[in-house]
Structure 1
Amino acid sequence: MDDIKIGEILLPGEESEQERRERRVRSGFWPTFRRAVRQIPFSRDVVAAYFCAVDPETPTRTRGILLAALAYFVLPLDFVPDMLAAVGFSDDIAVLTAAFAAISGQIKERHYRKADESMRDRPNG
């Protein structure tokens, strides 16, 4: 994946697009996360990003970027099929890493606390 493609994926989008992405993320995040947890070296950050993205107190631009990255993460069809365990989540990792860089510092401690609680309460994520 090149920077231009990742940049296109991470466009925050209009409010209606963000709402559509949020529905997709809310419905698909946990099943996808459970499949990916062992391949993603920063799982706690991904879960905290989820809680940040669905937090109404999060700034709109930050929510938009995170929802775009997380929607890509849960999308069943992407550039590298997620079923290929060794490399399947590498493009998702690249998109999530770029999103974290774009929203630097916007994931708050409360999001990490929710991530820790959630990961503790859910087997395998």
Structure 2
Amino acid sequence: MDDIKIGEILLPGEESDTERRARKVKSGFWPVFRKAFRQLPFARDVAAGYYCAIDPTTPKTVRAILIAALAYFVMPFDMLPDLLAVVGFTDDVAVLAAAIAAVRANIRPDHYARADEALDGADVKR
């Protein structure tokens, strides 16, 4: 991640970029999340961040930051390929942690409630 800084990944970008990323996030988030669940030390926050990102009442800048981080998470090729077991998700974790820290005040209790429901579901084991 020396070449690309986390701040650059989290730049909101153009609205068309955000929309394109949002489509990738919506289609790819849960399959990747299930694979990485045990390696995410703050999985509940990531899931709540997902619900915050897809919530149309969330401010656009906040949505764009979360979508950028979540898109980086779901993309199969990033700075450290996720196929490298534990090490492969370390860059994803850093990007997600930075995004969540930046927008934490916008992740509401209802986002956490939806995350809890998803985490308690059959598809994701705690």
**Bucket of the pairwise TM-score, normalised by the shorter protein:** over 0.9
Q: Do the aligned partners of residues 104 and 124 (structure 1) sit closer, same or farther apart at CA in structure 2, a change above 3 Å counting?
A: closer
Residue correspondence of structure 1 range 67-106 to structure 2 within 5 A = 67-106=67-106
The alpha carbon displacement at 1:7 in A equals 0.8
Greater helix content: 2
Distance 2:82 2:4 in 1: 22
Distance 1:19 1:51 in 2: 15
Cα RMSD for the two superposed structures: 1.5
List structure 1 segments (4+ residues) > 3 angstroms apart after TM superposition.
none
Equivalent pairs: percent with the same residue? 62
Amino acid at match of 2:15: E
Gaps of 5+ in 2: none
The alpha carbon displacement at 1:3 in A equals 9.6
Alpha-carbon displacement from aligned partner over 1:39-89 (angstroms, at most 9, x marks no partner): 001000000000000000000000000000000000000111111112110
Q: Do the aligned partners of residues 41 and 3 (structure 1) sit closer, same or farther apart at CA in structure 2, a change above 3 Å counting?
A: farther
Q: Do the aligned partners of residues 91 and 107 (structure 1) sit closer, same or farther apart at CA in structure 2, a change above 3 Å counting?
A: same
Alpha-carbon displacement from aligned partner over 1:98-121 (angstroms, at most 9, x marks no partner): 111221311100000000011112
Distance 2:3 2:80 in 1: 16
Counterpart check, 1:119 vs 2:124: no
Residue correspondence of structure 1 range 1-125 to structure 2 within 5 A = 1-2=1-2, 5-124=5-124
Gaps of 5+ in 1: none
Three-state SS of the structure 2 residue aligned to 1:76 is: coil
TM-score by length of 1: 0.94
Aligned length: 125
Kindly indicate whether the alpha-carbon contact (under 8 Å) linking 1:39 and 1:85 is maintained by their aligned counterparts in 2.
Answer: no
Distance 1:66 1:90 in 2: 17
Distance 2:17 2:122 in 1: 29
Q: Do the aligned partners of residues 82 and 30 (structure 1) sit closer, same or farther apart at CA in structure 2, a change above 3 Å counting?
A: same
